[in-house]
Every structure is written in C-alpha cells, then in structure tokens.
C-alpha cells in the first residue's frame, strides 16, 4: 500500500483500471512474496548475528528461533505500519500492475547486489524507492507526494537518521546500566546469565522485525490487487476464526491470507539466512559478548516495537546496526571498526537512488516489451 487505498478505489470505480490477466496478477504476487523471502534472507543477519557471534546458539538453531518469532508477529501487531505506508507517497492514478512489478524488480536486484557485497542495507527503503522509481519513469517526479517531515516521504527520510541514532543511544544506555548493575558480579556469572537472556532479546527483536518488515510486502500486494480492480480480495473478514489469535486485538486492514503468506515468506527467508551479512554484523563491526549482544538486541527491539506501535515504517537494519555500534562504543572508540560503519552508511545513502534507478529501467523495459507484443 504505497499509495492511498481510497485513491486506488476511486480510480478503479472510475473505470480507469485497465483489465489485466489474472495470471499476471498472480505472477506479480509471487514476485512480491519472493521479495519478502529475500527480505528475511537479507535481514536474517539482523536477527541472529549477535546471538551467533556470541555462540549462544548455532547458526541453524538461531535461524529457526528467529523465523518462529518472525511468523508469530502476525498475531501481535495488527497492520498499522502497512496502513501508514499506504498513504501519501505516490499519486493513486499513476499506479498500475507494471509499476508494481518494476518496483519489485528494482528492490530485489538491489537486495541481491548488497547481499553479494555483504552490506546490511534496508530492504524497506529499497522497496518504497523502487516503486517510486517505476512511477517516476511512467509519469515524472510530479507523481511523488510530499506531506511534511512527519508522514510519507518526510518520515521515511527522517527515520533514516533517527532509527540508527535511537538504536545507538539505547544500546549505549543499556550497556552502561547493565555494567553498573552487575559491577560486583564475576564475569562468568554475568556471561552465564546473559547467555540465557539473549535468547529472550533475540526473540523480542525477531518479533519486531517480522511485525514491521512483513507489512511492507502486504502493502505491495494490496496495492497490486487494487490497481488490478481486485480490491475485494484485500478486505479483512471481521468474523474470521483467526481473529481469535489476534493477541492485542489491533485492527487489521488486510485480509488474513495476505498477512499469513507474507509472514510465512519472511520467516522462510530468515531460515535460509544471509551468512555474508551475519559476518559483517556479528564480528566485523565490533566483537560482542553475550551481555553486549543482549543489550544491542534489546535496544533495537525497543526502537522497532515503538515504531511499529506508532505505525511508523522504519529500517530494522538501521536500528540493529546503530545498537551494535552503541554497545561497542562503550568499551572504547577503537573497539568499533568504524570503516564498516562508513561502508554501511554509504550503502544506506545509495539504496534509495539505486533501487529507484533499477526500478525505472525495469519499468521501461517492461513497457517496451508490452509495446512489442501488441
């Protein structure tokens, strides 16, 4: 839902939605779920890097642990983030199924490129900028809608800075507090305690990751179906038995079949894991002990949970990276390999323009192929 659902509904009602093949729509849904899978695959490092680098769990145990909580998030957070992402980014009249497809191709291509380079970039930013790039290729920069710094593009750009900063400060704060509380305890006792607590912190982080990130793909599928004139398949059933599993009774704006398939896709991606990025996050930035891993995961989880309950889509990658840097910096400035921080920041800066460019090229090629086939 990278545009207003109401706007899409108006376009569909006005008859401006061009008829498209049902098989094409199904195919694009599969591509969207593949992106969601890659999101989990790419971001597995965020969920498990600290718990693997501290040797609390083996890599296999860690991905299963994280994937379970990724999926369970479907029943905790509602779909507020998806609803927020769905308003005010792109003019509704511009979106068609080919814009969605071009955007997905751009996001997937950038995720694969950064995975090969071992860089933990934001899949979320790749997705929204990819769809924006495809829409710009269709109708120019006028399709983008600016609504201030606290919503739409403003909030996305603002939290590129705020999410790692909040994670950094909370990671540093957690580490200082824990160090003070356990200042008289022996290192072995602290290590034993936080090896257990890190299981909890990793699970809580994975809940936040699944709750925030999967909703972006839900929004893409809803946008696709609305653009194709199939909006009736996106509407939630208030009498569905699965509603009894909605723990906090948050309102759902999306049908359960979309919610569950997206949560399953991101969980499956997490199980396969992006090991190149695990190395970067778990050991190349700074060396972590269980106490540090627990503090970093807790800091990132606090950041993501707050944003999710506030219905703000953020980069979970930015949150955990900032938290790891914050924990590492409490030891000494030299204990953090800042060169990796510089490389990561550079990848963050490049994500929006590169994903948008690739998506624009993809949309152009799709449009060219359609012309040739007609």
Got the DSSP string for 315-333? -HHHHHHHHHHHHHHTT-G
pLDDT-based confidence at residue 340 (cuts at 50, 70, 90):
low
Report pLDDT for 26. Answer: 95
Report pLDDT for 11. Answer: 40
**How much of the chain is helix, strand and coil, in % rounded to 5?**
75, 0, 20
Residue 44's CB: how many other CB atoms inside 10 A?
30
Beta bridge partners of 90: 144
CA neighbor of 270 nearest in space, from 216, 209, 360: 209
Residue 79 phi/psi, 5-degree rounding, is -130, 35
* Residues above pLDDT 90, as percent of the chain: 33
Question: Which tokens in the block code for residue 2?
Answer: 């990278």
pLDDT in tens, 211-234: 999 999 998 898 899 888 888 998
Tell me which of 80 and 298 has the higher pLDDT: 298
Mean pLDDT of 27-39: 93
Which of 47-56, 118-127, 191-200, 365-374 has the least mean pLDDT?
A: 47-56
pLDDT-based confidence at residue 10 (cuts at 50, 70, 90):
very low
Report pLDDT for 4. Answer: 46
pLDDT-based confidence at residue 339 (cuts at 50, 70, 90):
low
CA separation for the pair 209, 197 (Å, rounded): 18
**Above 70 in pLDDT, residue 46?**
no
* Residues above pLDDT 70, as percent of the chain: 84
Question: Which tokens in the block code for residue 355?
Answer: 């994903």
Supply the range of the domain harboring residue 129. 5-373
Tell me which of 237 and 120 has the higher pLDDT: 237
Q: Which residue has the tokens 């909703």?
A: 215
**Above 70 in pLDDT, residue 274?**
no
CA separation for the pair 110, 131 (Å, rounded): 13
CA separation for the pair 120, 122 (Å, rounded): 7
Residue 88 DSSP class: S
Mean pLDDT of 105-111: 92
Tell me which of 243 and 50 has the higher pLDDT: 243
Mean pLDDT of 183-210: 90
CA separation for the pair 85, 313 (Å, rounded): 7
Tell me which of 15 and 315 has the higher pLDDT: 315
Mean pLDDT over the full length of the chain: 82
Report pLDDT for 282. Answer: 44
Mean pLDDT of 92-119: 87
pLDDT in tens, 281-310: 444 545 677 888 899 999 999 999 988 887
CA separation for the pair 110, 126 (Å, rounded): 7
Name the domain count of the chain. 1
CA neighbor of 96 nearest in space, from 6, 16, 159, 161: 16
Residue 246 DSSP class: -
């Amino acid at each position: 839902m990278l545009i207003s659902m109401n706007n899409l509904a108006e376009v569909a009602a006005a008859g401006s939605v061009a008829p498209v093949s049902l098989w094409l729509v199904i195919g694009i849904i599969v591509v969207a779920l593949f992106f969601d899978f890659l999101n989990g695959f790419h971001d597995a490092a965020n969920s498990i890097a600290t718990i693997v680098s501290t040797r609390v769990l083996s890599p296999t145990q860690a991905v299963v642990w994280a994937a379970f909580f990724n999926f369970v998030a479907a029943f905790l957070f509602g779909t507020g983030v998806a609803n927020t992402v769905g308003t005010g980014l792109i003019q509704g009249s511009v979106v068609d199924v080919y814009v969605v497809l071009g955007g997905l191709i751009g996001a997937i291509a950038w995720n694969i490129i950064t995975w090969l380079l071992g860089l933990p970039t934001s899949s979320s930013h790749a997705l929204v900028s990819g769809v924006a790039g495809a829409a710009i290729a269709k109708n120019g920069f006028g399709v983008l809608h600016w609504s201030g710094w606290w919503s739409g593009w403003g909030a996305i750009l603002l939290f590129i800075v705020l999410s790692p900063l909040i994670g950094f400060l909370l990671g540093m704060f957690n580490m200082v507090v824990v160090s003070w509380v356990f200042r008289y305890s022996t290192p072995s006792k602290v290590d034993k305690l936080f090896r257990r607590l890190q299981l909890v912190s990793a699970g809580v982080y994975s809940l936040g990751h699944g709750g925030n990130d999967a909703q972006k793909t839900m929004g893409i599928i809803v946008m696709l179906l609305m653009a194709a004139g199939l909006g009736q398949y996106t509407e939630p059933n208030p009498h569905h038995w699965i509603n009894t599993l909605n723990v906090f009774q948050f309102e759902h704006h999306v049908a359960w079949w979309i919610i569950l398939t997206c949560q399953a896709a991101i969980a499956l991606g997490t199980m396969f894991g992006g090991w190149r990025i695990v190395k970067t996050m778990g050991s190349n930035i700074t060396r972590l002990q269980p106490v540090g891993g627990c503090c970093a995961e807790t800091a990132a989880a606090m950041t993501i949970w707050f944003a999710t309950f506030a219905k703000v889509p953020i980069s979970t990658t930015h949150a955990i990276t900032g938290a790891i840097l914050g924990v590492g910096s409490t030891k000494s400035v030299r204990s953090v390999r800042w060169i990796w921080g510089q490389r990561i920041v550079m990848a963050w800066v490049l994500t929006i323009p590169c994903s948008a460019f690739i998506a624009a090229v993809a949309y152009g090629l799709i449009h060219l192929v359609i012309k040739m086939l007609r």
